[in-house]
Structure 1
Amino acid sequence: MIINNALKTIFVCVFALFLVSCSAPNVEHYSKTTPNFDFKTFFSGKLKAYGVVQDFKGELTRKLVVDMNATWEGNQGVIEEDFVYDDGETQKRIWKITLNDDNTLTGTAADVLGVAQGKSDGSVFHWNYNVELPYDGSTLEVNFDDWMYLVTQSRLINRTSIVKFGVEVGEVTLVIEKI
Protein backbone atom coordinates (compact mmCIF):
# COMPACT_ATOMS: atom_id res chain seq x y z
CA MET A 1 0.00 0.00 0.00
CA ILE A 2 2.77 2.46 0.92
CA ILE A 3 4.68 1.56 -2.25
CA ASN A 4 1.53 2.04 -4.35
CA ASN A 5 0.94 5.51 -2.87
CA ALA A 6 4.60 6.44 -3.34
CA LEU A 7 4.48 5.35 -6.99
CA LYS A 8 1.26 7.31 -7.54
CA THR A 9 2.83 10.41 -5.99
CA ILE A 10 5.95 10.07 -8.15
CA PHE A 11 3.82 9.54 -11.27
CA VAL A 12 1.69 12.63 -10.54
CA CYS A 13 4.81 14.77 -9.93
CA VAL A 14 6.52 13.59 -13.12
CA PHE A 15 3.33 14.13 -15.15
CA ALA A 16 2.87 17.64 -13.69
CA LEU A 17 6.49 18.49 -14.47
CA PHE A 18 5.98 17.24 -18.04
CA LEU A 19 2.88 19.40 -18.50
CA VAL A 20 4.60 22.51 -17.15
CA SER A 21 7.66 21.98 -19.36
CA CYS A 22 5.44 21.72 -22.47
CA SER A 23 3.59 24.96 -21.88
CA ALA A 24 4.66 28.23 -23.45
CA PRO A 25 3.63 31.71 -22.33
CA ASN A 26 0.93 33.56 -24.22
CA VAL A 27 2.12 36.56 -26.19
CA GLU A 28 0.15 38.75 -23.75
CA HIS A 29 2.73 37.79 -21.12
CA TYR A 30 5.06 40.30 -22.85
CA SER A 31 2.61 43.23 -22.94
CA LYS A 32 4.81 45.49 -20.79
CA THR A 33 8.07 44.79 -22.65
CA THR A 34 9.77 47.34 -24.89
CA PRO A 35 10.47 48.39 -27.57
CA ASN A 36 6.96 47.94 -28.92
CA PHE A 37 6.84 45.50 -31.84
CA ASP A 38 4.83 46.88 -34.74
CA PHE A 39 4.83 44.21 -37.45
CA LYS A 40 4.16 46.59 -40.35
CA THR A 41 6.83 49.08 -39.23
CA PHE A 42 9.51 46.43 -38.76
CA PHE A 43 8.70 44.40 -41.86
CA SER A 44 8.82 47.28 -44.34
CA GLY A 45 11.45 47.67 -47.03
CA LYS A 46 14.60 45.59 -47.22
CA LEU A 47 15.70 43.25 -44.44
CA LYS A 48 18.43 40.66 -44.05
CA ALA A 49 18.47 37.60 -41.80
CA TYR A 50 21.34 35.39 -40.68
CA GLY A 51 20.61 32.07 -39.05
CA VAL A 52 21.24 28.49 -38.13
CA VAL A 53 19.19 25.29 -38.22
CA GLN A 54 19.65 22.72 -35.47
CA ASP A 55 18.33 19.17 -35.24
CA PHE A 56 16.44 17.68 -32.28
CA LYS A 57 19.74 17.09 -30.44
CA GLY A 58 20.73 20.75 -30.80
CA GLU A 59 23.43 19.97 -33.37
CA LEU A 60 24.02 22.50 -36.14
CA THR A 61 22.81 21.13 -39.48
CA ARG A 62 22.78 24.23 -41.71
CA LYS A 63 23.50 27.94 -41.86
CA LEU A 64 21.46 30.35 -43.94
CA VAL A 65 21.12 33.94 -45.11
CA VAL A 66 17.75 35.40 -46.10
CA ASP A 67 17.16 38.54 -48.16
CA MET A 68 13.70 40.00 -47.60
CA ASN A 69 11.66 42.75 -49.18
CA ALA A 70 8.36 43.84 -47.62
CA THR A 71 5.77 46.15 -49.20
CA TRP A 72 2.38 47.34 -47.97
CA GLU A 73 -0.88 48.73 -49.31
CA GLY A 74 -2.90 49.65 -46.25
CA ASN A 75 -3.06 46.59 -44.03
CA GLN A 76 -2.23 44.16 -46.86
CA GLY A 77 1.44 43.25 -47.14
CA VAL A 78 3.75 41.10 -49.22
CA ILE A 79 7.02 39.80 -47.80
CA GLU A 80 9.37 38.16 -50.28
CA GLU A 81 12.00 35.91 -48.69
CA ASP A 82 14.99 34.52 -50.63
CA PHE A 83 16.83 31.82 -48.65
CA VAL A 84 20.41 30.76 -49.40
CA TYR A 85 21.77 27.82 -47.39
CA ASP A 86 25.45 27.05 -46.82
CA ASP A 87 25.14 23.88 -48.94
CA GLY A 88 24.03 25.99 -51.95
CA GLU A 89 20.30 25.20 -51.76
CA THR A 90 17.99 28.15 -52.37
CA GLN A 91 14.32 28.64 -51.53
CA LYS A 92 11.81 31.41 -52.06
CA ARG A 93 8.74 32.13 -49.96
CA ILE A 94 6.28 34.93 -50.67
CA TRP A 95 4.04 35.80 -47.74
CA LYS A 96 0.72 37.56 -48.22
CA ILE A 97 -0.06 39.24 -44.89
CA THR A 98 -3.26 40.79 -43.53
CA LEU A 99 -3.00 42.97 -40.42
CA ASN A 100 -6.01 43.30 -38.13
CA ASP A 101 -6.85 46.13 -35.73
CA ASP A 102 -6.41 43.91 -32.65
CA ASN A 103 -2.65 43.24 -33.26
CA THR A 104 -3.39 39.90 -34.91
CA LEU A 105 -2.44 38.95 -38.43
CA THR A 106 -2.92 36.17 -40.90
CA GLY A 107 -0.53 35.03 -43.57
CA THR A 108 -0.42 32.65 -46.49
CA ALA A 109 2.39 31.37 -48.72
CA ALA A 110 2.67 28.63 -51.33
CA ASP A 111 4.38 26.15 -48.98
CA VAL A 112 2.27 27.08 -45.94
CA LEU A 113 -0.66 24.73 -45.42
CA GLY A 114 -3.74 26.69 -44.47
CA VAL A 115 -3.37 30.09 -42.82
CA ALA A 116 -0.69 31.28 -40.42
CA GLN A 117 -2.13 32.98 -37.35
CA GLY A 118 -0.15 35.51 -35.32
CA LYS A 119 -0.33 38.19 -32.67
CA SER A 120 2.00 40.78 -31.19
CA ASP A 121 2.11 42.32 -27.73
CA GLY A 122 4.85 44.45 -26.23
CA SER A 123 8.14 43.63 -27.92
CA VAL A 124 7.11 40.12 -28.98
CA PHE A 125 5.34 38.59 -31.98
CA HIS A 126 4.20 34.96 -32.07
CA TRP A 127 2.69 32.97 -34.88
CA ASN A 128 2.08 29.37 -35.75
CA TYR A 129 1.69 27.59 -39.08
CA ASN A 130 2.17 24.30 -40.91
CA VAL A 131 4.72 24.06 -43.71
CA GLU A 132 5.54 21.52 -46.39
CA LEU A 133 9.33 21.22 -46.33
CA PRO A 134 11.36 19.52 -49.06
CA TYR A 135 12.82 16.36 -47.55
CA ASP A 136 14.73 13.49 -49.14
CA GLY A 137 13.17 13.88 -52.59
CA SER A 138 9.67 14.41 -51.21
CA THR A 139 8.02 16.78 -48.73
CA LEU A 140 7.40 16.61 -45.02
CA GLU A 141 4.59 18.44 -43.21
CA VAL A 142 5.76 20.13 -40.01
CA ASN A 143 4.52 22.83 -37.66
CA PHE A 144 6.47 26.06 -37.16
CA ASP A 145 6.01 27.69 -33.75
CA ASP A 146 7.59 31.07 -34.42
CA TRP A 147 8.57 33.63 -31.74
CA MET A 148 10.08 37.01 -32.66
CA TYR A 149 11.68 39.23 -30.02
CA LEU A 150 12.31 42.86 -31.00
CA VAL A 151 15.69 43.86 -29.54
CA THR A 152 15.94 47.32 -31.12
CA GLN A 153 13.74 49.10 -33.68
CA SER A 154 15.99 47.69 -36.42
CA ARG A 155 16.88 44.20 -35.11
CA LEU A 156 15.00 41.17 -33.86
CA ILE A 157 15.74 37.60 -32.86
CA ASN A 158 13.48 34.90 -34.30
CA ARG A 159 13.30 31.44 -32.72
CA THR A 160 11.27 28.78 -34.50
CA SER A 161 10.52 25.33 -33.12
CA ILE A 162 9.95 22.77 -35.87
CA VAL A 163 7.47 20.19 -34.60
CA LYS A 164 6.33 16.85 -36.07
CA PHE A 165 3.76 14.66 -34.29
CA GLY A 166 3.98 16.92 -31.22
CA VAL A 167 7.74 16.47 -30.86
CA GLU A 168 10.33 19.17 -31.59
CA VAL A 169 12.50 17.84 -34.42
CA GLY A 170 14.51 20.99 -35.06
CA GLU A 171 14.96 24.66 -34.40
CA VAL A 172 15.76 27.70 -36.51
CA THR A 173 17.33 30.80 -34.97
CA LEU A 174 17.57 34.00 -37.00
CA VAL A 175 18.76 37.52 -36.42
CA ILE A 176 16.74 39.80 -38.72
CA GLU A 177 17.95 43.34 -39.44
CA LYS A 178 16.46 46.26 -41.35
CA ILE A 179 18.90 47.44 -44.02
Structure 2
Amino acid sequence: MVCVSVFLSVTLMSCSTDISHYKNQNSKFDIKQYFNGDMIAWGMIQDYTNEVTRRFCVEIDASWQQEQGTLKEKFYFDNGEISYRTWNLTRLENGAYTGSAEDVIGIANGQESGFAFQWEYQLAVPIEGSTYYFDMDDWMYKLDEYRVFNKTAMSKFGVEVAEITLFFDKQLSDKTCEASSPQL
Protein backbone atom coordinates (compact mmCIF):
# COMPACT_ATOMS: atom_id res chain seq x y z
CA MET A 1 0.00 0.00 0.00
CA VAL A 2 2.85 2.41 0.81
CA CYS A 3 4.45 1.70 -2.59
CA VAL A 4 1.17 2.51 -4.36
CA SER A 5 0.82 5.79 -2.43
CA VAL A 6 4.41 6.81 -3.21
CA PHE A 7 3.97 5.89 -6.88
CA LEU A 8 0.72 7.89 -7.16
CA SER A 9 2.27 10.89 -5.40
CA VAL A 10 5.30 10.91 -7.70
CA THR A 11 3.13 10.38 -10.78
CA LEU A 12 0.73 13.18 -9.87
CA MET A 13 3.57 15.58 -9.06
CA SER A 14 5.28 14.88 -12.39
CA CYS A 15 2.11 15.57 -14.39
CA SER A 16 2.05 19.25 -13.53
CA THR A 17 5.01 21.61 -13.57
CA ASP A 18 4.71 25.23 -12.60
CA ILE A 19 7.19 27.57 -14.34
CA SER A 20 7.95 29.28 -11.01
CA HIS A 21 9.55 26.01 -9.88
CA TYR A 22 12.66 27.10 -11.85
CA LYS A 23 12.89 30.71 -10.59
CA ASN A 24 15.93 30.15 -8.36
CA GLN A 25 17.89 28.15 -10.93
CA ASN A 26 21.13 29.60 -12.27
CA SER A 27 21.71 30.47 -15.92
CA LYS A 28 18.71 32.74 -16.44
CA PHE A 29 16.99 32.29 -19.81
CA ASP A 30 16.32 35.65 -21.47
CA ILE A 31 14.54 34.80 -24.73
CA LYS A 32 14.96 38.37 -25.96
CA GLN A 33 18.71 37.93 -25.71
CA TYR A 34 18.86 34.33 -26.95
CA PHE A 35 16.48 34.70 -29.90
CA ASN A 36 18.34 37.55 -31.53
CA GLY A 37 20.15 37.03 -34.84
CA ASP A 38 20.29 34.00 -37.12
CA MET A 39 20.26 30.41 -35.89
CA ILE A 40 19.08 26.94 -36.81
CA ALA A 41 17.31 24.16 -34.94
CA TRP A 42 16.53 20.51 -35.62
CA GLY A 43 13.40 18.74 -34.54
CA MET A 44 11.05 15.82 -34.78
CA ILE A 45 7.37 15.14 -34.26
CA GLN A 46 6.27 11.97 -32.47
CA ASP A 47 2.67 10.75 -32.44
CA TYR A 48 0.83 9.42 -29.38
CA THR A 49 2.61 6.02 -29.78
CA ASN A 50 6.03 7.78 -29.72
CA GLU A 51 6.63 6.94 -33.39
CA VAL A 52 8.62 9.65 -35.17
CA THR A 53 6.31 10.88 -37.92
CA ARG A 54 8.31 13.87 -39.20
CA ARG A 55 11.79 15.34 -38.91
CA PHE A 56 12.72 18.89 -39.75
CA CYS A 57 15.27 21.68 -39.66
CA VAL A 58 14.27 25.32 -39.09
CA GLU A 59 16.16 28.50 -39.94
CA ILE A 60 15.36 31.41 -37.62
CA ASP A 61 15.98 35.10 -38.25
CA ALA A 62 15.21 36.96 -35.02
CA SER A 63 15.37 40.67 -34.23
CA TRP A 64 14.13 43.08 -31.55
CA GLN A 65 13.21 46.76 -31.44
CA GLN A 66 12.94 47.64 -27.74
CA GLU A 67 10.30 45.25 -26.38
CA GLN A 68 8.95 44.09 -29.78
CA GLY A 69 10.49 41.01 -31.38
CA THR A 70 10.11 39.23 -34.71
CA LEU A 71 11.12 35.60 -35.27
CA LYS A 72 10.96 34.54 -38.91
CA GLU A 73 11.05 30.74 -39.19
CA LYS A 74 11.56 28.64 -42.32
CA PHE A 75 10.91 24.91 -41.82
CA TYR A 76 12.43 22.19 -44.03
CA PHE A 77 10.64 18.86 -43.52
CA ASP A 78 12.03 15.43 -44.38
CA ASN A 79 9.36 14.93 -47.07
CA GLY A 80 10.51 18.04 -48.97
CA GLU A 81 7.79 20.36 -47.64
CA ILE A 82 8.86 23.91 -46.75
CA SER A 83 6.69 26.09 -44.50
CA TYR A 84 6.99 29.49 -42.86
CA ARG A 85 5.91 31.11 -39.60
CA THR A 86 6.55 34.63 -38.33
CA TRP A 87 6.20 35.24 -34.61
CA ASN A 88 5.51 38.79 -33.40
CA LEU A 89 6.50 38.95 -29.74
CA THR A 90 6.02 41.52 -26.99
CA ARG A 91 8.09 41.47 -23.82
CA LEU A 92 6.02 42.49 -20.80
CA GLU A 93 7.03 42.91 -17.15
CA ASN A 94 8.42 40.16 -14.89
CA GLY A 95 9.56 37.85 -17.70
CA ALA A 96 6.14 37.60 -19.34
CA TYR A 97 5.66 37.59 -23.12
CA THR A 98 2.77 37.59 -25.56
CA GLY A 99 2.98 36.54 -29.17
CA SER A 100 1.07 35.98 -32.36
CA ALA A 101 1.73 34.20 -35.65
CA GLU A 102 -0.19 33.37 -38.81
CA ASP A 103 -1.26 29.93 -37.60
CA VAL A 104 -1.68 30.77 -33.91
CA ILE A 105 -5.28 31.31 -32.84
CA GLY A 106 -5.54 34.34 -30.56
CA ILE A 107 -2.57 35.29 -28.40
CA ALA A 108 0.23 33.05 -27.14
CA ASN A 109 1.22 33.66 -23.53
CA GLY A 110 4.68 32.93 -22.20
CA GLN A 111 6.75 33.25 -19.05
CA GLU A 112 10.47 33.07 -18.26
CA SER A 113 11.65 31.66 -14.95
CA GLY A 114 15.22 30.66 -14.19
CA PHE A 115 16.60 28.62 -17.09
CA ALA A 116 13.09 27.80 -18.43
CA PHE A 117 10.50 29.43 -20.68
CA GLN A 118 6.93 28.23 -21.24
CA TRP A 119 4.53 29.14 -24.08
CA GLU A 120 0.86 28.22 -24.21
CA TYR A 121 -1.18 28.75 -27.36
CA GLN A 122 -3.58 27.19 -29.83
CA LEU A 123 -2.22 26.22 -33.26
CA ALA A 124 -4.15 25.70 -36.51
CA VAL A 125 -2.65 22.76 -38.42
CA PRO A 126 -3.70 21.82 -41.97
CA ILE A 127 -3.97 18.04 -42.39
CA GLU A 128 -5.17 16.44 -45.62
CA GLY A 129 -7.34 19.36 -46.73
CA SER A 130 -8.83 20.15 -43.31
CA THR A 131 -7.64 22.43 -40.50
CA TYR A 132 -7.38 21.08 -36.96
CA TYR A 133 -6.81 23.11 -33.80
CA PHE A 134 -4.39 21.89 -31.14
CA ASP A 135 -3.44 23.21 -27.71
CA MET A 136 0.32 23.65 -27.41
CA ASP A 137 2.25 23.48 -24.13
CA ASP A 138 5.72 24.56 -25.21
CA TRP A 139 8.72 24.37 -22.83
CA MET A 140 12.24 25.65 -23.58
CA TYR A 141 15.26 24.99 -21.38
CA LYS A 142 18.53 26.92 -21.69
CA LEU A 143 21.43 24.46 -21.55
CA ASP A 144 24.18 27.07 -22.01
CA GLU A 145 24.67 30.37 -23.84
CA TYR A 146 24.48 28.61 -27.26
CA ARG A 147 22.03 25.73 -26.85
CA VAL A 148 18.34 25.43 -25.96
CA PHE A 149 16.25 22.26 -25.73
CA ASN A 150 12.52 22.53 -26.54
CA LYS A 151 9.69 20.05 -25.81
CA THR A 152 6.11 20.73 -26.82
CA ALA A 153 3.05 18.71 -25.89
CA MET A 154 0.36 18.93 -28.58
CA SER A 155 -3.13 18.05 -27.34
CA LYS A 156 -6.74 17.92 -28.50
CA PHE A 157 -9.65 17.87 -26.03
CA GLY A 158 -7.13 17.53 -23.19
CA VAL A 159 -5.50 14.39 -24.65
CA GLU A 160 -1.87 14.54 -25.79
CA VAL A 161 -1.74 13.48 -29.45
CA ALA A 162 1.86 14.37 -30.33
CA GLU A 163 5.13 15.67 -28.95
CA ILE A 164 7.53 18.01 -30.72
CA THR A 165 11.18 18.12 -29.74
CA LEU A 166 13.68 20.75 -30.95
CA PHE A 167 17.34 21.50 -30.33
CA PHE A 168 18.63 25.05 -31.00
CA ASP A 169 22.34 25.80 -31.48
CA LYS A 170 23.58 29.39 -31.95
CA GLN A 171 27.26 28.42 -31.90
CA LEU A 172 27.36 26.97 -35.41
CA SER A 173 28.93 29.24 -38.00
CA ASP A 174 26.65 27.95 -40.79
CA LYS A 175 23.08 29.06 -40.13
CA THR A 176 21.32 27.26 -43.01
CA CYS A 177 19.47 23.97 -42.91
CA GLU A 178 20.55 22.94 -46.39
CA ALA A 179 24.23 23.03 -45.45
CA SER A 180 23.73 21.58 -41.95
CA SER A 181 21.20 18.82 -42.66
CA PRO A 182 21.91 17.11 -45.97
CA GLN A 183 19.59 14.20 -45.05
CA LEU A 184 16.52 16.48 -45.00
TM class by shorter-chain length? 0.7 to 0.9
Deviations 1:56-98 (A, max 9, x none): 0101101000000101100000000101100011110000000
Q: What are the within-5 Å matches in structure 2 for residues 5-24 of structure 1? A: 20=12, 23-24=15-16
The one of 114, 120, 145 equivalent to 2:137 is 145
User: Which of the residues 95, 101, 123 maps onto 1:103?
Assistant: 95
CA distance in 2, matches of 1:129, 1:121: 18
Aligned positions of 1:70-85 closer than 5 A: 70-85=62-77
Cα-to-partner distance string for 1:80-122 (whole Å, 9 max, x where unaligned):
0101100011110000000012100000001000000000110
Distance 1:87 1:33 in 2: 39
Q: 1:6-44 CA distances to partner (integer Å, 9 max, x unpaired)?
A: xxxxxxx8xx77x82684211110112221100100000
Give, as a single letter, the amino acid of the residue that structure 1 aligns with 2:42. Y
In the aligned structure 2, how far is the partner of 1:154 from the partner of 1:141?
32
Q: Which residue of 2 aligns with 1:29?
A: 21
Aligned residue for 2:143, secondary structure, equals strand
The aligned residue for residue 56 of structure 2 is 64
Cross-structure match for 1:10:
none
Aligned: 1:41 with 2:18: no
Question: Counterpart of 1:66 in 2: which secondary structure?
Answer: strand
* Identity fraction in percent: 37
What's the secondary structure of 1:116's corresponding residue?
A: strand
Tell which structure's C-alpha radius of gyration is larger.
Answer: 1
Partner of 1:5: none
Structure 2 residue identity aligned to 1:75: E
- Give the total of aligned pairs: 165
